[in-house]
Amino acid sequence: MSANRKKIKKLEVMVADVIQETPDTTTLILFTGNDLLDYKPGHFVTIDPHQFVALERWTAYLEFKKGKKELPRAYSLSSSPDEKYLAITVKEEMYFPGKSKYPPLLSPILSMRTRKGSKMVITGFTGPYTLPKDGNMPKEILHICAGSGVVPNFSILKYTLKNYPEIKHHFMYSNQSWENTIFGKELIDLQMDFPNQLTVDFLFTRKAPEDFQVPFQTGRISTEMIENIFNKMEQAQIYICGPGVSKYEKIAARKEGVTPAPRFLESVLQSLNDLGIDKSQITHESYG
């Protein structure tokens, strides 16, 4: 058994707090008792929908319709390993009649209907979206995130600001509006607390905020924006997380003989490719 397999275990946790981040996103603070929280920033846990009594009939119905077992869903940790509690931050997936093939299963209950004191089993900790080993740490990190893709980067950011003060961060973060911006206030506070280590660029694609005290841009993250920032950095590692083309979209497109329209992740990767940035400088994770 590999060392990594040994570290993956089931933990029974109690929801110690429920924090509404945005209208559709909630952070669950999880109390694990005396279990050792041996995880890296950027790691995720998995949660099996079969454990929720309230979802029993729904899970059975979806399994019948899909003809396969519903698998555990992955959730990145929004907490940093040096914080006392574990935290996950879950965005409610929506159902669009005529567009979505099935209604979402787990995210609505985690983000909208989980109360303080409830218990659940999580399995963790794992994932490749982490920092390099000590000795290979970059001088700079360029974070490029959209929506709930901010979650693992927020953990990486909090951890490195405190434990690797020599690393400089540039955080590009795209959302539809300020109201949808998860950890927006926390990022502003971190920028004030670590002015020499962190610069945050907020981008809003649908609605520009009024009376916003912090500089921001409108529109999508473009190749030019990345180029401007990347060129000012000396030796940057780039961490990109956000929505990508899902495996279901890929299968559907293949059947129709078309290429699926790029989403955030594919567009950013295309920009980095166009800029000739070496793949070894890029780490990415998709929630699609």
Contact residues: ligand FAD, CB under 6 A: 44, 66, 73-76, 89-91, 93, 100-102, 104-107, 127, 148, 151, 248, 285, 287
Task: Tell me how far, at minimum, the Cβ of 116 lies from ligand FAD, in Å.
Answer: 19
Question: CB-wise, 74 or 121, nearer to ligand FAD?
Answer: 74
For CA atoms 184, 137, 242, 262, give the dihedral sign: positive
* 24 CB burial (10 A radius; 0-12, 13-18, 19+): buried
Q: Which is nearer to ligand FAD, 225 or 260 (CB)?
A: 260
Which of helix, strand or coil describes residue 59?
helix
**Of residues 39 and 44, the one with the C-beta less far from ligand FAD:** 44
Show the tokens assigned to 60. Answer: 């059975």
Q: How far is the CB of 157 from ligand FAD (least distance, A)?
A: 14
Query: In this structure, how many other beta carbons lie within 10 angstroms of the beta carbon of residue 45?
Result: 25
Task: Work out how close the CB of 87 gets to ligand FAD at its nearest, in angstroms, rounded to a whole number.
Answer: 10
Burial of 148 (0-12, 13-18, 19+ CB in 10 A): buried
Nearer to ligand FAD, 73 or 169 (CB): 73
Q: Which is nearer to ligand FAD, 44 or 178 (CB)?
A: 44
Sheet containing strand 282-286, strands side by side? 216-218, 198-204, 168-175, 140-146, 236-242, 282-286
Q: In this structure, which amino acid lies at residue 3?
A: A
Q: How far apart are CA 272 and CA 239, in angstroms?
A: 12
Q: How far is the CB of 233 from ligand FAD (least distance, A)?
A: 26
Contact between residue 203 and residue 221 where contact means Cβ atoms under 8 Å apart:
yes
Q: Which is nearer to ligand FAD, 106 or 156 (CB)?
A: 106
Query: Is the Cβ of residue 214 or residue 253 nearer to ligand FAD in the bound state?
Result: 253
Q: How far is the CB of 16 from ligand FAD (least distance, A)?
A: 18
How many CB atoms lie under 10 A from the CB of residue 154?
29
Which of 13, 69, 83 has its CA nearest to residue 45?
13
Least spacing, CB of residue 44 vs ligand FAD, in Å: 5
CB of 101 to ligand FAD, least distance (A): 4
What φ, ψ does residue 44 adopt, rounded to 5°? -125, 165
